[in-house]
Amino acid sequence: AFTMKLGVVTKPGSAQNIVAEKFKELVEQRSNGALSVKIFHSASLGNETEILQQIQLGTIQLGIITSGPFDSFDPIVRVIDYPFLFKDSQQADEILDGPLGQEILTSLESSGFKGLCFSENGFRNLTNSRKPVNSPNDIDGLKIRVMSSALHKAIWQALGANPTPMPWPIYTELEQGVIDGQENPLWVMEVYKFYEIQKHMTLTRHVYSAHIDVASLNWWNSLDSDTQELLQKSMYDAAKFQRADNRAKNAQRLEMLKQKGMKVVETPDIGALREKVSSLKEIELFSDPKVQSLLTRTLEATR
């Protein structure tokens, strides 16, 4: 039996791991044991960028990776991270499972990745230890931890915050007040226990955080078409399973976070927030013609 290696950076129970485990289950079941999947989790192989490089090198075959780190390989993935792009999950699915999403997956081939499909971290929300956030004014001057990404920095600067890059994990820094807040999907607040140290949460849903589920292109091309089909189908089914699972759990998570004492602003002034970032589509990061074209068409389609 051939064992393929799949890398994720997060620990068991996290969104990426749920996709990975479902994929493993489906592949092993559907191939009647002819194929097996070994999952490497908790960053045992390196960070997400390094996992992607190992996929390019063919050292491992597959990865469930958040869209951010793809940025340094192919700028087209920035379109997914554009702020306030998708109204809701259904719209995200429509776009990413449709031709526009396919365009992104196909584009990754020039970097040596076979893009299989998208799964999700989910919509990102803001938490902080200082005050309830309803409108852009409340964000002014908050020290928000953001990922080391020029786009995320630009988003939070536009929203008026003081975006602070900080390596994960950030629990202690939040606890100690080195930073005021952070922004992540709901499952992160649950799994990393941010409800213990962050009083306020606002359902800003400012960025839809997707995973791109990829394989090594060289390896993929060496497979026969039956195997390709089995793997493609299994990954897609695993992704659909995980998206549904994540969304179903979000309602409970929100209840749980409130029960733990978080004050949640469920309907902030999204219009005003969106207005603040409206000039972002003109910035340098989206200036590449291919990127600009996809962004324009996606904004059109989600209007």
Partner 1 sequence: MSEFGLLILLAVLFLINVPIACSIGIVSIIAIAIKGDFSMMVVIQRMFGGTDSFHLMAVPLFMYAGLLMEKGGISRRIIDFANALVGWLPGGLAAVAIVSAMLFAGISGSAAADTAAVGALLIPAMKRSGYDSDFAAAVQASGGSIGVIIPPSIPMIIFGFLTGASIGKLFAAGIIPGIIIGLSLIIIASILSHRNGYKAAVPFSLSRIFHSFFKSLLALGTPLLILGGILFGIFTATESAAAAVLYSLIIGGFVHRELKFSDLKPIFIEGSIIAAIVMFIIATASVFSWLAAIEDIPSLVAGGLLQISDNPIILLILINLILLIAGTFVETTAALILLVPMIVALQPQLGIDLIHLGVIIVTNLAIGMLTPPMGICLIVSGAISGDSISAISRRILPFLMILIVDLLLITFYPPLTMFLSSLVGN
Partner 2 sequence: MELSLLGLGSLMTIIVIAQVISRYGLNHSLFWSEELARYLLVWLTFLGATVAYFRGMHPGVDVIYRRLSPENKRYLRIISHLLCLILFLVMIWQGTQFSYFVRLQITPALNLPKWTIFSIIPISGLIFMLHGFAFIWRELFTGEHRHE
x/- letters, 93..122, toward partner 1 (CB under 8 A): ------------------------------
Which entry of partner 1, partner 2, none binds 66, CB below 5 to 8 A by partner kind? none
Burial class (CB in 10 A: 0-12, 13-18, 19+), 245: middle
153 binds partner 2 (CB under 8 A): yes
**Contacting residue, 46, 75, 132, 160, with partner 1 by CB under 8 A:** 46
Helices (H), the chain: 15-30, 48-57, 89-97, 99-107, 136-139, 150-158, 171-176, 186-191, 217-221, 225-259, 270-276, 289-302
Which entry of partner 2, partner 1, none binds 99, CB below 5 to 8 A by partner kind? none
Cα 214 to its chain centre, rounded Å, is 14
Q: Of 56 and 91, which CB lies nearer to partner 2 in the complex structure? A: 56
172 binds partner 1 (CB under 8 A): yes
Say whether the peptide bond before residue 136 is cis (omega within 30 degrees of 0).
no
In the complex, the smallest distance separating the C-beta of residue 164 from partner 2, rounded to whole angstroms, is 4
Cβ atoms of residues 180 and 143 within 8 Å:
yes
219 binds partner 1 (CB under 8 A): no
Q: Tokens 């958040």 — which residue?
A: 66
Binders in 260-279 for partner 2, by CB under 8 A: none
53 binds partner 1 (CB under 8 A): yes
Tokens of 219: 């390896």
Q: How many CA atoms lie within 13 A of 160 on its CB side?
A: 13
- The values of phi and psi at residue 176, to 5°, are -80, -15
**CA triple 225-230-234, angle to 5 deg:** 145
136 binds partner 2 (CB under 8 A): no
Q: Of 178 and 244, which CB lies nearer to partner 1 in the complex structure? A: 178
Which entry of partner 1, partner 2, none binds 164, CB below 5 to 8 A by partner kind? partner 2
- The values of phi and psi at residue 13, to 5°, are 100, -20
233 binds partner 2 (CB under 8 A): no
**Contacting residue, 24, 78, 143, 206, with partner 2 by CB under 8 A:** 143
Tokens of 218: 């060289």
Among the residue ranges 51-59, 124-132, 200-208, 211-219, the one whose residues contact partner 2 (CB under 8 A)? 51-59
**Count of residues touching partner 2 (by CB under 8 A):** 20
12 binds partner 1 (CB under 8 A): no
Q: Of 44 and 72, which CB lies nearer to partner 1 in the complex structure? A: 44
Cβ atoms of residues 7 and 55 within 8 Å:
yes
Which entry of partner 1, partner 2, none binds 169, CB below 5 to 8 A by partner kind? partner 1
Cα 247 to its chain centre, rounded Å, is 14
Among the residue ranges 19-27, 45-53, 117-125, 243-251, the one whose residues contact partner 1 (CB under 8 A)? 45-53
Cβ atoms of residues 163 and 153 within 8 Å:
yes
In the complex, the smallest distance separating the C-beta of residue 165 from partner 2, rounded to whole angstroms, is 5
Q: Which residues contact partner 1 by CB under 8 A? A: 5, 38, 40, 44-47, 50, 53-54, 57-60, 167-169, 171-173, 175-178, 197
